[in-house]
Amino acid sequence: MSNSETSHGERFERCGDRIRPGRLAPGRAAMWLLAKLLRRLVQNGRLTIYDPCGETWHFGPGGEPAVSVRLTDKGLPARLLANPSLALGEAYMDGTLRIEAGSLRGLLSICTSDMDTIYALPGMRLIRMLDAFMARRLHHNPISRSHANVAHHYDISTELYDLFLDADRQYSCAYFPTGVETLDEAQALKKKHIAAKLLLRPGMQVLDIGSGWGGLAMELAQQHAARVTGLSLSTEQIAAARDRAARSGLSDRVAFERRDYREERGRYDRVVSVGMFEHVGRSGFDAFFATLQRVLTSDGIALVHAIGTMAPEGGSDPWIRKYIFPGGYLPTLSETIAAAERSGMWVTDVEVLRLHYAETLRHWSERFAAERETARTLYDERFCRMWEFYLAVCEMAFRNGRLMVFQIQLAKRRDSVPLTRDYIGETEAGQIDENISSVTSTRRAS
């Protein structure tokens, strides 16, 4: 770094509190305000910014991660102040924010180290107020809108997903009981964990809401002799899942239908939903749990696996909502359980997976980076930047922010599951207690 760069940075840091933004040109005033925020926000590592006016700014105590970025648009500092998530994501996509040293994940790690400071920004408070005012439209997903929302994200090239997902195409949080599992191992353990909570017996009818590419449905049919109906609104996913079931010889035990869960009229012993509840929308909670209550048999059990937030209120990120998951809504655990209880079902088990999705996303980011050139042949550079930002910002939201994953087990009867949780570990370990099978069989017969 040159002496002139150092002096510029030190001059602004030393005198910043005495500079009046009104005396500066609009672009410099916005940068001064952004710098004032970053001095509070950057609590670890070292962030260097080369601003559009030719000044150099340094933030943070030093150490790793160390990241240098160049801003090339004079309007960018103001947009970052007004809507940090949306402006940062769009700037990275458009190339008006260029990383000159370090990595995107390093930058996002620095920027998310103190999320409370970001949430307290006037612009963020205004965004939350507008979201609350527009909640009915933003997070309301009737069947027609649900089809369009799913097509936006899932009806893109399956080849893209094959670049970073595991061999089974599990596009949801994996399960890392020791933290050293490979992605494929962790996804296999996730399916095993869910199956254990479902208390399956041969011949049971299972409904999989949001069945993706069919991996979980096929596992339940193949390993537990269940008869599974998978629902998805994605044309691409349904076609791929049906093809896979046919090639595996499971078409007689697994059926995949392009149908909204609200249109389901069958009766099932078990219902499972993995990574789909986030797309229901706040106004759809009661309809979702009412559907589970309606389609389950009298001794039925359901398992809902979803991304949630421990923030006071649920919601959605502006950049994610615009570019990745339109109509998405990340619920709080409290509002989810309240909706489940309004349906008349018992909440029989709750588990919160905190850092498991951060590790899943780390694996996805690394795999995507290794196949980035292939992704660029499928789409273009801007798309690749969008996908990189999506995976990295989501990882940091789980690692440093308020996001987590929860699994809620529900039953129509309070005695449909054993009295303690011991059966989950025993089943996963292959030590299935015969008493569980006999007790649940007796209850079902009654």
Residues with Cβ < 8 Å from 148, sequence gap 6 or more? Answer: 326
Q: How many Cβ atoms are within 10 Å of 136's Cβ, its own excluded?
A: 10
Q: What are phi and psi of 113, to 5 degrees?
A: -70, -20
State how far the Cα of 364 lies from the Cα of 174, in Å rounded to an integer: 11
Taking the alpha carbons at both ends of the chain, their separation in whole angstroms is: 78
Q: How many Cβ atoms are within 10 Å of 21's Cβ, its own excluded?
A: 14
Would you state the torsion angle of the CA atoms of residues 336, 210, 364, 428, taken in this order, to the nearest 10 degrees?
80
Q: How many Cβ atoms are within 10 Å of 224's Cβ, its own excluded?
A: 17
State how far the Cα of 417 lies from the Cα of 305, in Å rounded to an integer: 18
Taking the chain (446 residues) in runs of 10, the rounded mean pLDDT of each run is: 37 38 62 90 93 93 95 94 91 97 96 74 61 57 61 73 96 96 97 97 97 97 97 93 96 95 96 95 93 97 97 86 87 96 97 97 98 94 96 96 96 95 91 46 45
What domains can you pick out in the chain, each with its CATH number?
3-133 (3.30.1050), 143-445 (3.40.50.150)
Q: Full-prediction pTM beyond 0.75?
A: yes
Looking at the annotation, which residues are catalytic?
Answer: 394
pLDDT computed for residue 328 by the predictor: 84
Is the separation of the CB atoms in 22 and 39 below 8 Å?
A: no
Q: Where are the beta strands (DSSP E) in 171-324?
A: 205-209, 227-232, 254-258, 268-274, 296-309
pLDDT computed for residue 302 by the predictor: 98
State how far the Cα of 303 lies from the Cα of 270, in Å rounded to an integer: 8
Q: How many Cβ atoms are within 10 Å of 23's Cβ, its own excluded?
A: 9
Q: How many Cβ atoms are within 10 Å of 366's Cβ, its own excluded?
A: 13
Q: DSSP labels for 169-215?
A: ---S----SSS---HHHHHHHHHHHHHHHHT--TT-EEEEET-TTSH
Instruction: Look at residue 351 and give its three-state secondary structure.
Output: strand
Q: DSSP labels for 66-109?
A: EEEEEE--TTHHHHHHH-HHHHHHHHHHHTSEEEEES-HHHHHH
Is the separation of the CB atoms in 166 and 183 below 8 Å?
A: yes
pLDDT computed for residue 436 by the predictor: 46
pLDDT computed for residue 131 by the predictor: 61
Strand partners, 414: none
pLDDT computed for residue 135 by the predictor: 54
pLDDT computed for residue 117 by the predictor: 67
Residues with Cβ < 8 Å from 282, sequence gap 6 or more? Answer: 135, 139, 140, 314, 329, 331, 335
* Cα 407-360-80 angle, rounded to 5 deg: 100
Instruction: Look at residue 346 and give its three-state secondary structure.
Output: strand
Q: What are phi and psi of 255, to 5 degrees?
A: -125, 135
* Cα 42-44-50 angle, rounded to 5 deg: 50
State how far the Cα of 33 lies from the Cα of 13, in Å rounded to an integer: 12
From residue 149, how far is each of 142, 228, 238, 400 by CA, in Å?
10, 25, 16, 28
Q: How many Cβ atoms are within 10 Å of 104's Cβ, its own excluded?
A: 21
Instruction: Look at residue 402 and give its three-state secondary structure.
Output: coil
What single letter denotes the amino acid at residue 50? Y
pLDDT computed for residue 145 by the predictor: 59
pLDDT computed for residue 282 by the predictor: 86
pLDDT computed for residue 182 by the predictor: 97
Is the separation of the CB atoms in 167 and 367 below 8 Å?
A: no
CA 114 to chain centre: 20
pLDDT computed for residue 139 by the predictor: 57
